[in-house]
Structure 1
């Protein structure tokens, strides 16, 4: 069995496809009695085997479905994709405040990994916007929230399944805009990119570094919810989009990558959190030793300034034909991690830094 990363392979003793929280609890108890790990797996979008196991694999897609949409909340099974959440909430004019760029990942999976999106500089992580959880912990089904079993609630969010298996989540919702204005802002350098992100008054912020003939090209994206906002200084291009189209903006790219075979290739991804004062130096040092071949034909470099005075730096490599091999990409990831740790940063635990 492989995950999206395509680097690590593990064969489980068995795959269990539970259809309820009670069935998850039963599977966890049986695995424990045999001395086996029970690892939940949604759509398998981890990049270094985090959703794989040599024990019992719990296929959580049997727990997909939005059970309830209230005034400002939704209750979704852990195996529900964020695409399915949006399909249930948008008809009511509501949306989760934080969405992943790629919608075909599950609620339980991203909450277990924290879940970062373009609005995280305003709203925090997806895990920060959970109101309550249903969890299998200690072999039984329990609920937890900021007021009920708060220690378990805090441990499970971002806990990568180590403290319990999420089976359902109550998600905070906010009003969804009808349209957004996406503003592309060319930047001169990594430092300039971070400055633009910090200064732009936008609902959604992101940044990319792209290879070019002259080295690297930097671009910030500032997205204003509603169509009447004033583009930030330096904006070179704007695009007005319906909010559902903006939320699902990756779909055409993914379809193209699937058609080209790139989506199925190994993805040695490196993602690190950097302290803002040292982020520019780490990014520049990493780019100085990189080439387009080390990134891959469909690789992407993302830079995201967060509200916690930290920066998420993501080098999302693809081991394309004719580019650097997987081992070389993994070695570059480890050098990035060493550089990040020396600067006081840390890794994002769903990556492939090894």
Structure 2
């Protein structure tokens, strides 16, 4: 099989934070043939993931290694953009309620999403996010248009990483290590833009004084909007005081809640404003189109989404998403007995 046009990390636009892969048509078609062998939706998720492993092992060696390295090394990019992936030949209308489509008759997009996810780790379903589904349908929902959630469209979705409410008081423990976004349908105006800002670039821009504050437990994260809406009756549920940045200077980990960060001092408020300004300054832009996927390291950086117009007429933007953990062992205290889902 001819090698894919996998851009070496050293040749990326920003060598430290973003990688790119463009699959040739013959590689795309080979993947599509393999995914067609699993005609139905993934029922037994473990069996389905094993099948997807076989399919994606057919990638050219250099491409396969680039994706695997993205998931396993500290110094690799925090975002990986892959284009010319297999697509469903026909799509039903975009779901209007954020639930899985009841009219989807082929499952190439799900196979593509889960195949890429399996190269990074294990996809996880949290009961407080999309009712524990492993595959999330990310679409504009009219009732949630102005919220800081995946249902929104009419407002800018703030720079954040995907966190998970946890009874320990720390929302960055059980959260996914990666998220994968696979585009099925673009918005009508093709205006929606996803942004990625890497912690390494953010730290370089805000400077050492702000970094010292951001590394101090002077911030409280609000729980995700879905948890606040569905579990807490729209009341804020704040974390314990935490830093926003932690870890070695060369490999910082960053955390920020889309649904709100509460500061505990004036200097923390100033540092948070500097961080948000830095995010906009260093962010990379991605206009996801059908056949495009964006893999994001949920610890190395923050992501955001622009405003776009939702029409709620079956032709709206439609992404599918997974949450991926390198291992579920550390969150076994949240396991739902007899299932692969997590509280």
Q: Shorter chain as normaliser: what TM range?
A: under 0.3
Q: TM-score when scaled to structure 2?
A: 0.26
* Structure with larger Rg: 1
Q: Greater relative contact order (Cα 8 A, min sep 6): structure 1 or 2?
A: 2
| Structure with more of its chain in strand, by fraction | 1
